[in-house]
Amino acid sequence: MRLIDAGALDNEGVEAFSDRLGVGSRHLARLFLKHLGASPLQVATTARLQRAKRLLDTTDLSMVEVALGSGFRSVRRFNAVFRSTYGRSPTELRQMARRSP
Protein backbone atom coordinates (compact mmCIF):
# COMPACT_ATOMS: atom_id res chain seq x y z
CA MET A 1 0.00 0.00 0.00
CA ARG A 2 2.92 2.34 0.60
CA LEU A 3 3.87 2.09 -3.06
CA ILE A 4 0.33 2.96 -4.10
CA ASP A 5 0.20 5.87 -1.65
CA ALA A 6 3.48 7.07 -3.12
CA GLY A 7 1.89 7.05 -6.59
CA ALA A 8 3.46 3.90 -8.05
CA LEU A 9 0.32 3.02 -10.00
CA ASP A 10 0.06 6.61 -11.23
CA ASN A 11 3.61 6.62 -12.54
CA GLU A 12 3.96 3.04 -13.76
CA GLY A 13 0.53 1.70 -14.62
CA VAL A 14 -0.80 -1.72 -13.65
CA GLU A 15 1.43 -3.76 -15.97
CA ALA A 16 4.69 -2.18 -14.81
CA PHE A 17 3.51 -2.26 -11.19
CA SER A 18 2.74 -5.98 -11.37
CA ASP A 19 6.12 -6.62 -13.02
CA ARG A 20 7.81 -4.67 -10.24
CA LEU A 21 6.08 -6.93 -7.70
CA GLY A 22 6.93 -10.07 -9.65
CA VAL A 23 3.36 -11.16 -10.39
CA GLY A 24 1.15 -11.09 -13.46
CA SER A 25 -1.34 -8.28 -13.87
CA ARG A 26 -4.31 -10.69 -13.73
CA HIS A 27 -3.03 -12.25 -10.52
CA LEU A 28 -2.47 -8.79 -9.06
CA ALA A 29 -6.05 -7.86 -9.95
CA ARG A 30 -7.33 -11.03 -8.23
CA LEU A 31 -5.29 -10.25 -5.12
CA PHE A 32 -6.59 -6.69 -5.01
CA LEU A 33 -10.19 -7.87 -5.36
CA LYS A 34 -9.75 -10.56 -2.72
CA HIS A 35 -7.99 -8.41 -0.12
CA LEU A 36 -9.17 -4.89 -0.89
CA GLY A 37 -12.47 -5.44 -2.69
CA ALA A 38 -11.41 -3.25 -5.61
CA SER A 39 -9.25 -3.34 -8.72
CA PRO A 40 -5.77 -1.79 -8.79
CA LEU A 41 -7.13 1.12 -10.83
CA GLN A 42 -9.95 1.73 -8.36
CA VAL A 43 -7.47 1.73 -5.49
CA ALA A 44 -5.19 4.12 -7.39
CA THR A 45 -8.11 6.45 -8.13
CA THR A 46 -9.13 6.45 -4.47
CA ALA A 47 -5.55 7.30 -3.45
CA ARG A 48 -5.48 10.16 -5.99
CA LEU A 49 -8.78 11.48 -4.66
CA GLN A 50 -7.50 11.38 -1.09
CA ARG A 51 -4.34 13.26 -2.06
CA ALA A 52 -6.40 15.81 -3.97
CA LYS A 53 -8.83 16.30 -1.09
CA ARG A 54 -5.92 16.85 1.29
CA LEU A 55 -4.38 19.42 -1.07
CA LEU A 56 -7.72 21.19 -1.49
CA ASP A 57 -8.21 21.38 2.26
CA THR A 58 -4.69 22.38 3.28
CA THR A 59 -3.29 24.51 0.44
CA ASP A 60 -4.16 27.39 -1.85
CA LEU A 61 -2.84 25.59 -4.93
CA SER A 62 -4.72 26.13 -8.18
CA MET A 63 -6.98 23.34 -9.44
CA VAL A 64 -4.42 22.49 -12.12
CA GLU A 65 -1.68 22.16 -9.47
CA VAL A 66 -3.96 20.05 -7.25
CA ALA A 67 -4.96 17.78 -10.15
CA LEU A 68 -1.42 17.18 -11.34
CA GLY A 69 0.04 17.08 -7.84
CA SER A 70 -2.37 14.37 -6.77
CA GLY A 71 -1.59 12.12 -9.73
CA PHE A 72 -4.29 12.93 -12.27
CA ARG A 73 -2.98 13.33 -15.79
CA SER A 74 -5.57 15.93 -16.80
CA VAL A 75 -7.78 18.50 -15.13
CA ARG A 76 -10.73 17.21 -17.10
CA ARG A 77 -10.34 13.69 -15.64
CA PHE A 78 -9.74 15.17 -12.18
CA ASN A 79 -13.00 17.15 -12.37
CA ALA A 80 -14.99 14.19 -13.74
CA VAL A 81 -13.78 11.74 -11.09
CA PHE A 82 -14.28 14.29 -8.32
CA ARG A 83 -17.82 15.10 -9.43
CA SER A 84 -18.79 11.44 -9.81
CA THR A 85 -17.40 10.58 -6.38
CA TYR A 86 -18.42 13.59 -4.31
CA GLY A 87 -21.32 14.98 -6.36
CA ARG A 88 -19.59 18.36 -6.44
CA SER A 89 -16.71 19.97 -8.27
CA PRO A 90 -13.34 20.35 -6.53
CA THR A 91 -13.90 24.10 -6.34
CA GLU A 92 -17.26 23.63 -4.62
CA LEU A 93 -15.73 21.23 -2.08
CA ARG A 94 -12.91 23.67 -1.34
CA GLN A 95 -15.40 26.50 -0.82
CA MET A 96 -17.52 24.36 1.49
CA ALA A 97 -14.48 23.36 3.54
CA ARG A 98 -13.41 27.00 3.88
CA ARG A 99 -16.87 28.04 5.13
CA SER A 100 -16.96 25.33 7.79
CA PRO A 101 -15.44 26.26 11.16
Per-residue pLDDT of the chain (101 residues; tens, 9 = 90+): 777 777 777 777 788 888 888 899 899 999 999 999 999 889 889 989 999 999 999 999 999 999 999 989 899 999 999 999 999 999 998 988 887 76
Task: Output the pLDDT for position 77.
Answer: 94
Task: Output the pLDDT for position 16.
Answer: 84
Give the dihedral sign, CA 59/62/63/68.
Answer: negative
Task: Output the pLDDT for position 49.
Answer: 93
48 to each of 32, 39, 76, how far by Cα in Å?
Answer: 17, 14, 14
Q: Which fold has domain 2-99?
A: Arc Repressor Mutant, subunit A (1.10.10)
